[in-house]
Amino acid sequence: MSQRQEPIEVPVAPPWKRDFPYEALSEEEVTRREFARYLVLGAGTIAVANVGIAAWTQLRSINAGEPRAITPLADVAVGEPHLFRYPGDDDPAILVRLSDTDVVAFSQKCTHLGCVVYYEPHQERWHCPCHEGYFEVRTGNVISGPPTRPLGRIDLEVRDDGMIWALGRQT
């Protein structure tokens, strides 16, 4: 009783290989599966990095800041902005004195792509020059442009000694 044998497949070189019969020394050292495994490993590394970035973003926004003295109210003229850092030393912030007693402050980072915003005294609005985003001066709400979220507001208090205090940042 004879068993049927499977035909042996003889590998046939493709025409390009016959025309160009050269091989690199390490050509056969990485298999297709190994190459795919490296890619998946890279994808895993990027996934871990993305989770880390998300956690970092979350932790950073939790830091609303401790109460801190910013500057004397008398040193800020009406209609003039004042730059400071809050809640951390890497967080640019800006305040503007709108009247004798009215002071507002916001994170200076535009909520579109993180450019710094400036105060436009004539139009009384915040302006992001990168992509022409505009925000309301008192609320930080978006007036026009690509941003979709308001500026991060910083609560202020003018104390009896005339010093402006930052009390915390609203996200």
Partner 1 sequence: MRASERARRTSSAVVLYVIILVAFQVFLITVAVEAFQTDAESLAWATAAVSVALFAAAAAFLRYLRP
**Number of residues lying near partner 1 (CB under 8 A):** 32
Binding test (CB under 8 A) with partner 1, winner from 73, 87, 95, 112: 112
In 10 A of CB 107, how many CB atoms? 22
Q: Which amino acid, one-letter code, is at 116? A: V
Least distance to partner 1, CB of residue 147, Å: 9
When asked if residue 30 is in the footprint of partner 1 (CB under 8 A), the reply is no
When asked if residue 58 is in the footprint of partner 1 (CB under 8 A), the reply is yes
Q: Judged by CB, which is closer to partner 1: 123, or 171?
A: 171
When asked if residue 170 is in the footprint of partner 1 (CB under 8 A), the reply is no
Distance CA 166, CA 59 (A): 20
Distance CA 104, CA 149 (A): 18
| Strand, coil or helix: 57 | helix
When asked if residue 63 is in the footprint of partner 1 (CB under 8 A), the reply is no
| Strand, coil or helix: 15 | helix
The two tokens of residue 33 are: 């599966």
Alpha-helical segments (H) within 30-105: 32-62
When asked if residue 46 is in the footprint of partner 1 (CB under 8 A), the reply is yes
When asked if residue 149 is in the footprint of partner 1 (CB under 8 A), the reply is yes
- Cβ contacts of residue 38 below 8 Å, gap of 6+? none
When asked if residue 47 is in the footprint of partner 1 (CB under 8 A), the reply is yes
Residues near partner 1 (CB under 8 A) are 9, 32-33, 35-37, 39-40, 42-44, 46-47, 49-51, 53-54, 56-58, 60-61, 109-114, 149, 152, 171
